[in-house]
Structure 1
Amino acid sequence: MSDENRRIATDMIYRLDDKPPAFQAFLAALQHMMAIFIGIITPPLIIGGALDLPPDLKAYIISMALFVSGIATFIQVKKIGPVGSGLLSIQGTSFTFLSLSIGIGLSVKAAGGTPEQALGTIFGVCIIASPVEMIFSRFIPFLKKIITPLVSGIVVTLIGMSLIKVGITDVGGGQWLLDNKPEFFGSGTNLLLAGIVLIIIVILNRSTNKWIRMSAVVIGLVVGYIIAAFMGLVNFNNISTMKFITAPIPFRFGFHISWGHVIPMALLYLITTVESIGDLTATSMISGEPIEGDKYFKRISGGVLGDGINSALAGVFNSFPNTTFSQNNGVIQMTGVASRYVGFWIAGLLVLFGLFPVVGGLFSVIPNSVLGGATIIMFGTVAASGIRIISSSIINRRGVLIMAISFGLGLGVAFVPQILSKAPSIVQQIFGSAITTGGLSAIFLNIVLPRSLSKQDLGHEPYEGEAAK
């Protein structure tokens, strides 16, 4: 373990293999749930709306997204054979596949297909393409010179920076408000609620009492929730219309394939592999675990393999591809709890909410501004973790060049997405993400740029091992 990771480990209340008391583990799990719940249910909500699904189908795919995320999280945390990272790595519905999934569904409906056939085709294509990620996971141990801490750090930093846009949008009231009622976006009420939550979390997180520190996020959100309810900003009517229980039915919508969408879907699985490597590296770093060496690469391989298998499992149970959730790294950092046993609690809660949608409905009505007050600081810590990973390697002229180009291109497409407006739609889907463009740029440059051994480039006299390379 590096000196930096040892320092981080000492800042943890519970490390990876520690087993917290049940109530403390439940509190930590609850805070993870607060961070991921909206992220898990948002993709099926958006896809259901875009495909104009009837309310019962929309409710069902939302429930299945939660149910599958719970099963996938258990597999990832438990590590069954070679499958899973064994870290406190939470799985959830991936936003990467959102646009393509909508495109597949709309093409089926345009050809006269039913909503059920549209869903069955989306899930079928997801299943067929998922082996791409599984196969790629087997080659990760041989890519040590490509997936370096510098590359991983760049990807993690871009992940955090990309999420900050989501967090600040929630602070203002959420994307729906921004798109449909911009006059209310960023109102004093929304900023006040977000500010209250943020201040409470910061104050409680600085406490020396581990119980208070572990509960900082959930206390901040609960206080914000209660204040918003008294202000009449929480709509409980949505909960009363939900079914009490729903059952997972494999291949409920059949199994259909649109072969023209298989290759684009396969490319997206490669993209999410890069993102998962960054997420898992951040989790390992924050948990005080290695971010290089055989143990690290074995965990990354297992995690990426778990992503692929879990995405195939998601298709079987009528949900969309799963991936590791980066926002949970912020929760680990904030609570000081990196124990894998917390993951079992999270998995159980996700399955429970999937089977009993009314229970999960309590989370779904939390105002965006309340969530934003918590997520803005969590997402910021993800970006900070990426910077910390980068700083663990020697930054010479070559490293600076890789960072400059990767950040420039990655953030460039995020700030000015119109740069790709003349490109084919598949190019827009692949390179429209800051994480993808920046991450792939970092990998490519790390391969093609020569490694100089001059004193000026290294920043020190060449080590014996470096001189021999």
Structure 2
Amino acid sequence: MSTSPKNSDLLYGLHDRPEPLKALFAAFQHILASFVGIITPALIIGGVLGLGSELPYLISMALFVSGVGTFIQAKRFGPIGSGLLCVQGTSFAFLSAVLAAGFIVKNRGGSSEDILAMIFGVCFFASFVEMFLSRIIHKLQHVITPVVTGVVITTIGLSLIKVGMTDIAGGFGAEDMGAAKYLIVGGVTLATIIAINRFSNPVLRLSGIMIGMFVGYVTAYFMGMVDFQIPDVPVIAVPLPFKYGFNFDLAAFIPVAIISVVTAIETTGDLTANSMVSKEPTQGPLYIKRIKGGVLGDGVNSCLAATFGSFPMSTFSQNNGVIQLTGVASRYVAFYIAGLFILLGLFPVIGAVLQTLPKPVLGGATLVMFGTVASAGIRILATAKLDRRDLLIMAVSFGLGLGVIAVPEVTNSFSPLFKSIFSSSVTVAGISAILMSLIIPQEKSHSVQKQEDPAQIDLDDKEVNAA
């Protein structure tokens, strides 16, 4: 066992091997920081699309693939993986696009299996977009600028807030939607998360969302809103490739592909932050190799997720905070994290228990998460030195993106294909921002300054648990 150099504030550097007990303790803190973020997308998608019977398996696979993905990123197989202590988890950025894909099938009268076949088929092909971009990621900063990324991420967060607020009000389809009991439970959950976040203890803050959901769950129990009927599930969840079949639709694919492009840039920023807190180079050949490998790992892990029944993966930036908190940057800790996630994923009873979570509890937590996504997008925009051109791009992109969800009838004259594509606020905002960035000339005085900005992007969809 070696330790980090004396001039470093790390207890264990990237290539050091902590003792098993210390490594396990550090791994538990990473799991605490990311567990809720990994399972919540499955809970939301399952609840909104009415996939209740499939939820235990979806949650199990979310944990299982997160474990496999974390191992791949840390171990590094050839060009795949960053070789850093970075945790892979289900990405919130894809949530609106995945729901849109599901509704395309649901509105046609498709079954749960049909919905999931479409979602996973589209996500499978979209993962190759990120794999391709990993090879040229260092050249994309002139196209996917901080303004484009910030617009897309802010739009994602704002468009998802309706989902969180609907759950606070009782959830989609609730007969007594907006009843006082729902608002009380959602409000207690939200207030607890806010209160915990104000504590100075970093360990307590890392578990703020989990504690808030627990307090909300207890409140819901005393108000008679918890149903302890747990569905019968297998003892062990066996990962099955394409369990629900395989389908594809261009209208569903385009929004997911656009977000894959943005996610590749976000991952670059996240891995840059990870390198910084791990006291590793943030420029030069080794750095570029890690960035390319990390983004490629994101794509490969998202492909595995679609294959085994989970949603697209990305690196979680809140785990960079855990590295700073523990002083442990060893990539060998990721092996413990991966093993624990895989173990948790093999038992679908975990997903069955989480399925009893009342909608207002989930809504109170996700409202914070989605608001954090939007705030992260705004922060990305704040890193750019905005000029009149940028403000125009932002104004038009936000106007069109949020306009199509405020007035969906605006697409009534479109063909079915284009109506499906342009009914997505993320797609409209993303395409608008990219096209305007390419068409409108950039002021020369700002071109040099903006080239450095993409490396600062350490979004969340990935910061959702930092709230």
Per the TM alignment, residue 277 of structure 1 is displaced from its structure 2 partner at its CA by: 3.6
Q: Supply the distance in 1 between the matched residues of 2:322 and 2:368 (Cα, whole angstroms).
A: 9
Q: Structure 1: which amino acid aligns with 2:352? A: G
Where do 5+ consecutive residues of structure 1 fail to align?
1-9
Q: Identify which of 402, 406, 426 aligns with 1:411.
A: 402
Q: Supply the distance in 1 between the matched residues of 2:265 and 2:258 (Cα, whole angstroms).
A: 11
Q: In the alignment, which residue of structure 1 is the partner of 2:390?
A: 399
Matches within 5 A, 1:199-278: 199-239=191-231, 241-250=232-241, 261=248, 263-264=250-251, 267-277=254-264
Cα distance change of structure 1 residues 35 and 229 upon mapping to structure 2, 3 Å threshold? farther
Per the TM alignment, residue 247 of structure 1 is displaced from its structure 2 partner at its CA by: 1.5
Q: In the alignment, which residue of structure 2 is the partner of 1:40?
A: 42
1:199 aligned counterpart, secondary structure = helix
Cα distance change of structure 1 residues 79 and 206 upon mapping to structure 2, 3 Å threshold? farther
Q: Supply the distance in 2 between the matched residues of 1:15 and 1:387 (Cα, whole angstroms).
A: 33
Cα distance change of structure 1 residues 384 and 146 upon mapping to structure 2, 3 Å threshold? same
Q: In the alignment, which residue of structure 1 is the partner of 2:168?
A: 171
* 1:90–1:343 contact (8 Å) kept in structure 2: no
Per the TM alignment, residue 372 of structure 1 is displaced from its structure 2 partner at its CA by: 2.3
Per the TM alignment, residue 369 of structure 1 is displaced from its structure 2 partner at its CA by: 1.3
1:72 aligned counterpart, secondary structure = helix
Q: Structure 1: which amino acid aligns with 2:159? A: S
1:188 maps to 2:180? yes
Matches within 5 A, 1:104-143: 127=124, 130-143=127-140
Point out the more displaced range, 400-409 or 416-425: 416-425
* 1:105–1:121 contact (8 Å) kept in structure 2: no
Q: In the alignment, which residue of structure 1 is the partner of 2:189?
A: 197
Q: In the alignment, which residue of structure 1 is the partner of 2:314?
A: 324
Give the TM-score normalised by structure 2.
0.73
1:423 aligned counterpart, secondary structure = coil
Per the TM alignment, residue 237 of structure 1 is displaced from its structure 2 partner at its CA by: 0.7
* 1:410–1:438 contact (8 Å) kept in structure 2: yes
Q: Identify which of 128, 143, 146 aligns with 1:146.
A: 143
Q: In the alignment, which residue of structure 1 is the partner of 2:464?
A: none
Matches within 5 A, 1:443-454: 443-453=434-444
2:230 aligned counterpart, secondary structure = helix
Per the TM alignment, residue 91 of structure 1 is displaced from its structure 2 partner at its CA by: 2.9
1:91 maps to 2:90? yes
Where do 5+ consecutive residues of structure 2 fail to align?
1-8, 452-467
Q: Structure 2: which amino acid aligns with 1:245? A: I
Cα distance change of structure 1 residues 187 and 330 upon mapping to structure 2, 3 Å threshold? farther
Q: Supply the distance in 2 between the matched residues of 1:438 and 1:334 (Cα, whole angstroms).
A: 33
Q: Supply the distance in 1 between the matched residues of 2:324 and 2:191 (Cα, whole angstroms).
A: 19
Identity, % of aligned positions:
39
1:194-232 per-residue CA deviation (whole Å, 9 max, x = no partner) reads: 222222222222222233323322222222222222322
1:238 aligned counterpart, secondary structure = coil
Q: Structure 1: which amino acid aligns with 2:161? A: I
Aligned residue pairs total 427
* 1:129–1:266 contact (8 Å) kept in structure 2: yes
CA RMSD after TM alignment? 4.5
* 1:133–1:304 contact (8 Å) kept in structure 2: yes
Q: Supply the distance in 2 between the matched residues of 1:277 and 1:148 (Cα, whole angstroms).
A: 12
Q: Identify which of 150, 153, 157 aligns with 2:154.
A: 157
1:112-168 per-residue CA deviation (whole Å, 9 max, x = no partner) reads: xx9989977876676566434422332332222112222222222222222322222
Give the TM-score normalised by structure 1.
0.73
Cα distance change of structure 1 residues 433 and 17 upon mapping to structure 2, 3 Å threshold? farther
Point out the more displaced range, 392-401 or 366-375: 366-375
1:73-94 per-residue CA deviation (whole Å, 9 max, x = no partner) reads: 4435655444346544523595
Per the TM alignment, residue 408 of structure 1 is displaced from its structure 2 partner at its CA by: 1.1
Cα distance change of structure 1 residues 288 and 417 upon mapping to structure 2, 3 Å threshold? farther
Per the TM alignment, residue 433 of structure 1 is displaced from its structure 2 partner at its CA by: 2.4
1:338-392 per-residue CA deviation (whole Å, 9 max, x = no partner) reads: 9877866664454334311112322222212122222222322222222222122
Q: Supply the distance in 1 between the matched residues of 2:437 and 2:359 (Cα, whole angstroms).
A: 39
Per the TM alignment, residue 264 of structure 1 is displaced from its structure 2 partner at its CA by: 4.9
Q: In the alignment, which residue of structure 2 is the partner of 1:357?
A: 348
Cα distance change of structure 1 residues 384 and 99 upon mapping to structure 2, 3 Å threshold? closer
Cα distance change of structure 1 residues 17 and 383 upon mapping to structure 2, 3 Å threshold? farther
Cα distance change of structure 1 residues 418 and 235 upon mapping to structure 2, 3 Å threshold? same
Q: In the alignment, which residue of structure 2 is the partner of 1:280?
A: 267
* 1:16–1:287 contact (8 Å) kept in structure 2: no
Q: Supply the distance in 2 between the matched residues of 1:170 and 1:78 (Cα, whole angstroms).
A: 39
Q: In the alignment, which residue of structure 2 is the partner of 1:381?
A: 372
Per the TM alignment, residue 270 of structure 1 is displaced from its structure 2 partner at its CA by: 2.2
Q: Structure 1: which amino acid aligns with 2:395? A: A
Per the TM alignment, residue 337 of structure 1 is displaced from its structure 2 partner at its CA by: 6.1
